[in-house]
Amino acid sequence: MTADHPFPTSGRSADDLLSEIATLRSGDLDWRGGRAFSLVYDVDDPELESLLDAVGVMFLHENALNPFRYETLLKMETEVVAAAVDLFGAGCGTMSSGGTESIFLAVYTAREWARSRGITEPELLCAETAHPAFAKACHYLGVSMVRTPHGADGRAQPELMAEACSPRTAILVASTPCYPFGVIDDVTAIAAIARDRGVLCHVDACLGGWLLPWWERLGCAVPPWGFAVEGVTSMSADIHKYGYTFKGASTILYRDAELRQHQIFMYDDWPGGLYASSTAAGTRPGAPIAGAWAAIHHLGADGYLRLARRVLDATTRFRAGISSIDGLEITADPDMSLFEFGPSPDSGIDIGGVGDVMDRHGWNLDRQQGGLHLMVSPGHDRVVDKFCDDLASAVASHGASIGAAQTYGGVV
Ligand SMILES: Cc1ncc(COP(=O)(O)O)c(C=O)c1O
pLDDT tens for each residue of 280-294? 999 999 999 999 999
- Collapse the DSSP code of 145 into the 3-class scheme (helix H, G, I; strand E, B; otherwise coil) and give the result: strand
DSSP summary character for residue 65: S
Question: What is the CA(204)–ligand 1 centre distance, in A?
Answer: 9
The secondary structure element, H or E, covering residue 339 is: strand 338-343
Q: How far apart are CA 250 and CA 238, in angstroms?
A: 4
Ligand 1 atom nearest the C-alpha of 130 is: 1
CATH architecture for residues 51-297 = 3-Layer(aba) Sandwich (3.40)
Is 179 a pocket residue for ligand 1 (Cβ < 6 Å)? yes
Q: Given the CA of residue 102, which atom of ligand 1 is nearest to it?
A: 11
How far apart are alpha carbons 142 and 111 in whole angstroms?
9
Confidence at residue 402, expressed as pLDDT on a 0 to 100 scale: 79
Choosing among 3.30.450.20, 3.30.420.40, 3.40.50.620, 3.90.1150.10, the CATH entry for 301-397 is: 3.90.1150.10
CA 131 to centroid of ligand 1, rounded, Å: 7
353, 401 contact by CB (below 8 A): yes
> Could you tell me the pTM of the whole model?
0.96
Residue extents of the structural domains in the chain:
51-297, 301-397
Find out whether the beta carbon of 98 lies less than 6 Å from any atom of ligand 1. Answer: yes
Calculate the average pLDDT of the chain.
Answer: 95
CB 100 less than 6 A from any atom of ligand 1: yes
Give the separation between CA 147 and CA 130, rounded to whole angstroms. Answer: 9
Residue type, 33: G
Euclidean distance between CA atoms 220 and 316, whole angstroms: 12
Shortest-distance atom of ligand 1 to CA 250: 10
Instruction: For residue 103, report the distance from its CA to the centre of ligand 1, in Å.
Output: 9
Of 133, 114, 110, which Cα lies nearest the Cα of 202? 110
Burial, 96: exposed, middle or buried (Cβ in 10 Å; 0-12, 13-18, 19+)?
buried
User: Is-contact 338 179, C-beta < 8 A?
Assistant: yes
Per-residue pLDDT tens for 365-407?
Answer: 999 999 999 999 999 999 999 999 999 999 999 988 877 777 7
Nearest atom (ligand 1) to Cα of 205 = 1
**371 — alpha (psi -120 to 50), left (phi > 0) or beta?**
left
Distance 132 CA to ligand 1 centre (A): 8
Alpha-carbon gap, residue 286 to 267, rounded angstroms? 23
Continuous H helices in 253-286? 257-260
Alpha-carbon torsion (88, 92, 94, 98), positive or negative: negative
Are the beta carbons of 363 and 394 closer than 8 angstroms? no
How far is the CA of 347 from the CAs of 325, 343, 356, in angstroms? 11, 6, 18
Q: What is the pLDDT along the chain (412 residues), one digit of tens a residue?
A: 557 889 999 999 999 999 999 999 998 888 888 888 988 999 999 999 999 999 999 999 998 888 788 899 999 999 999 999 999 999 999 999 999 999 999 999 999 999 999 999 999 999 999 999 999 999 999 999 999 999 999 999 999 999 999 999 999 999 999 999 999 999 999 999 999 999 999 999 999 999 999 999 999 999 999 999 999 999 999 999 999 999 999 999 999 999 999 999 999 999 999 999 999 999 999 999 999 999 999 999 999 999 999 999 999 999 999 999 999 999 999 999 999 999 999 999 999 999 999 999 999 899 999 999 999 999 999 999 999 999 999 999 998 887 777 777 777 7
Spatial CA neighbour of 280 closest among 143, 67, 96: 96
pLDDT, tens only, 106-158 = 999 999 999 999 999 999 999 999 999 999 999 999 999 999 999 999 999 99
